[in-house]
Amino acid sequence: MHKTAAVHAARSYCTIYGHDTYWVVIGPSTDPTGPSSEVRASSYAAALRIRAGWRAEIALRLMGEWSELAAYDINRAVFDPYGPTDLAKLVNIGLSALSRA
């Protein structure tokens, strides 16, 4: 699957719900068609970052380009308070990690 199509498809995964200091992000565990899992966050901004990183993982899996190195770089960007939150940029971070391997 091409990057544009994978990013578009990944946007349909992962939902956020909650309020105040209790936010939950729900999405697929490893396989986009598999069972769901959840991650908790203490702020809506943190939940948005987690969802963006999760969607980037899904996009890379749909492209067949997933690796632990990509996971490391995406997670580093997601948990950097000044890092990118745009899905396409996070996918590019994952792809650049793969090109270094």
pLDDT, tens digit (0-9, with 9 covering 90-100), for 11-53: 999 999 999 899 999 999 877 788 899 999 999 999 999 999 9
The DSSP code sequence of 13-50 is S-EEEEETTEEEEEEESSSTTS-EEEEEESSHHHHHHH
Query: Can you give the pLDDT at residue 101?
Result: 61
pTM: 0.90
Domain for residue 28, yes or no?
no
Query: Can you give the pLDDT at residue 88?
Result: 94
Residues spanned by the domain of 76: 3-13+44-100
**Percentage of the chain lying above the pLDDT 90 cut:** 77
> Based on the structure, what is the number of domains in the chain?
1
